[in-house]
């Protein structure tokens, strides 16, 4: 990781072709925030909570269009974010 200041960002384009359509996958952004907490601020427990919440949403079968396949529930950006938030709020442990 290094000793200097860190940059924590999802690496992707701006996707103007899907702007305002609720199609983007928010998980890279959410996990970038977890990396900031863990590596930038030393808040490992908070970071783990976020990572667990992402896993919980995925384990429940929620998928945005870019990672969707048969047998999973197709959701948009907003609903995926809400599912991650529900896991954080309810402190549901992720199944691994």
pLDDT of residue 20: 94
Domain of residue 68 covers 24-90
Local confidence band at 1 (pLDDT 50, 70, 90 cut-offs)? low
For helices 44-59 and 27-35, angle between their N-to-C axes, nearest 10 degrees = 160
For the chain, how far is it from start to end, CA to CA, in angstroms?
26
- Per the domain annotation, does 66 fall within a domain? yes
- Per the domain annotation, does 74 fall within a domain? yes
Q: Hey, is 18 helix, strand or coil?
A: helix
pLDDT of residue 37: 96
Q: Is 76 exposed, middle or buried (0-12, 13-18, 19+ CB in 10 A)?
A: middle
- Per the domain annotation, does 11 fall within a domain? no
- Per the domain annotation, does 17 fall within a domain? no
Local confidence band at 93 (pLDDT 50, 70, 90 cut-offs)? low
What is the chain's mean pLDDT, rounded? 91
Residue 64 pLDDT exceeds 50: yes
Query: What's the rounded mean pLDDT across residues 49-63?
Result: 97
Number of structural domains the chain divides into: 1
Residue 96 pLDDT exceeds 60: no
- Per the domain annotation, does 67 fall within a domain? yes
């Amino acid at each position: 990781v290094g000793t200097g200041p860190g940059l924590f960002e999802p690496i992707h384009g701006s996707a103007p072709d899907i702007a305002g359509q609720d199609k983007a996958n928010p998980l890279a952004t959410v996990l970038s925030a977890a990396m900031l907490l863990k590596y930038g601020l030393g808040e490992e427990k908070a970071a783990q909570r976020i990572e667990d919440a992402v896993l919980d949403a995925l384990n429940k079968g929620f998928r945005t269009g870019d990672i969707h396949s048969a047998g999973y529930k197709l959701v948009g950006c907003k609903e995926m974010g809400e599912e991650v938030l529900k896991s954080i709020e309810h402190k549901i442990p992720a199944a691994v």
